[in-house]
Amino acid sequence: MKKVFSVLLLTLIFSACKDSNKKNNITSQNSMNTNHNPLIAESTLPYGAPDFTKINNDHFREALLQGMDEKREIIENIANSTEAATFENTILALEKSGVLLDRVRNVFSALTGAHTNDTLQAVQEEMAPKFSELRDAIYLNDTLFQRVKTLYEKRESLNLDGESLRLLENYFEDFEIAGANLSPENKEILKSYNSRLATLSNTFNKTLLEANNAGAVIFTDKSELEGLSDAELKSLEIKDGQGWKIALQNTTQQPLLQSLKKRETREKLFKAAWLRADGTAQDTKAVITEIAELRAKKGALLGFSNYAEWSLQNTMAKVPENVFKLFKGLVPSATAKAGQEAKEIQEMIQKTGGDFTLAPWDWNHYAEMVRKAKYDLDENQIKPYFELKTVLEKGVFYAAEKLYGISYKARTDIPTYHEDVLVYELFEENGDPLGLFYGDFFSRPSKRGGAWMSNFVDQSKLYNKKPVIYNACNYPKPVAGEPALLTYDEVETMFHEFGHALHGFFADQQYPSLSGTSVARDFVEFPSQFNENWALYPEILKNYALHYKTGEQIPQELIDKIKKSGTFNQGYSLTENLAASNLDMQWHTIGSDIKIEDANAFEKEALHTTKLDVVSAVPPRYRSTYFAHIFGSGYAAGYYSYLWTEMLHHDAYNWFETHGGLTRENGQRLRDMILSRGNTLPLEKMYKDWRGGDPKIEPMLKARGLQ
% pLDDT > 70, the chain = 95
pLDDT at 195 over 70: yes
pLDDT score, position 450: 85
Looking at residue 240, what is its pLDDT?
Answer: 79
Are 438 and 457 a contacting pair, CB within 8 Å? no
Q: In this predicted structure, what is the pLDDT of residue 37?
A: 93
Q: What confidence tens digit (pLDDT) does each residue in 465-484 have?
A: 999 999 999 999 999 889 99
pLDDT of amino acid 22: 32
Q: What are the φ/ψ torsions at residue 201 (nearest 5 degrees)?
A: -60, -40
Active site residue 347: no
Looking at residue 705, its pLDDT comes to: 87
pLDDT tens sequence across 107-152: 999 999 999 999 999 999 999 999 999 999 999 999 999 999 999 9
Amino acid at 238: I
DSSP string, 542-563: HHH-B-TTT-PBPPHHHHHHHH
Distance CA 494, CA 545 (A): 14
Strand residue runs (E) in 402-486:
407-410, 422-427, 433-442, 452-457, 468-475
Average of per-residue pLDDT values in the chain: 93
9-20: average pLDDT: 32
- Nearest Cα neighbor of 67 from 107, 109, 100 is 100
Taking residues 361-367, report their average pLDDT: 97
- pLDDT score for 3: 37
pLDDT tens digit sequence for 221-275:
999 999 999 989 999 999 877 899 999 999 999 999 999 999 999 999 999 999 9
Query: Which position among 293, 490, 497, 603 bears the catalytic label?
Result: 497
Of 610, 605, 603, nearest to 578 (Cα)? 610
Contact 501, 435 (CB under 8 A): no
Rounded distance, CA 119 to CA 123, Å?
Answer: 6
Mean pLDDT to the nearest integer, 296-311: 98
Q: What pLDDT is attached to residue 35? A: 55
- Give the span between the Cα atoms of 211 and 631, in whole angstroms: 15
For residue 432, give every residue at least 6 positions away whose Cβ sits within 8 Å of its Cβ, in sequence order, or none.
none
| pLDDT band, very low/low/confident/very high, at 27 (cuts 50, 70, 90) | very low
SS3 of residue 378 by DSSP: coil
Question: What is the SS3 assignment for 217?
Answer: strand
Cβ(470)–Cβ(451) below 8 Å: no
Instruction: Give CA torsion, residues 124, 103, 134, 35, to 10 deg.
Output: 80
Domains present along the chain, CATH in parentheses: 46-181 (1.20.1050.40), 302-377+569-704 (1.10.1370.10)
Q: Does residue 538 surpass a pLDDT of 70?
A: yes
Residue 24 in this model has a pLDDT that exceeds 70:
no
Residue 468, strand partner residues: 436, 457
The stretch 188-194 carries a mean pLDDT of: 97
| Contact between residue 525 and residue 554 where contact means Cβ atoms under 8 Å apart | no
Confidence (pLDDT) at 6: 34
Distance CA 645, CA 522 (A): 6
Question: Using an 8 Å Cβ cutoff, are 138 and 144 in contact?
Answer: yes
- 287, pLDDT greater than 60: yes
Distance from C-alpha of 391 to C-alpha of 380, rounded to nearest angstrom? 17
Question: Confidence class of residue 75 from pLDDT cuts 50, 70 and 90?
Answer: very high
| CA atoms in the 13 A half-sphere facing the CB of 43 | 21
What's the whole-number mean pLDDT along residues 289-293?
A: 98
Q: pLDDT of 396-435, one tens digit each?
A: 999 999 999 999 999 999 999 999 999 999 999 999 999 9
Residue 387 has pLDDT above 50, yes or no: yes
Question: What is the model's pTM?
Answer: 0.88
Compute the distance between CA of residue 424 and CA of residue 253 in angstroms, rounded to an integer.
33
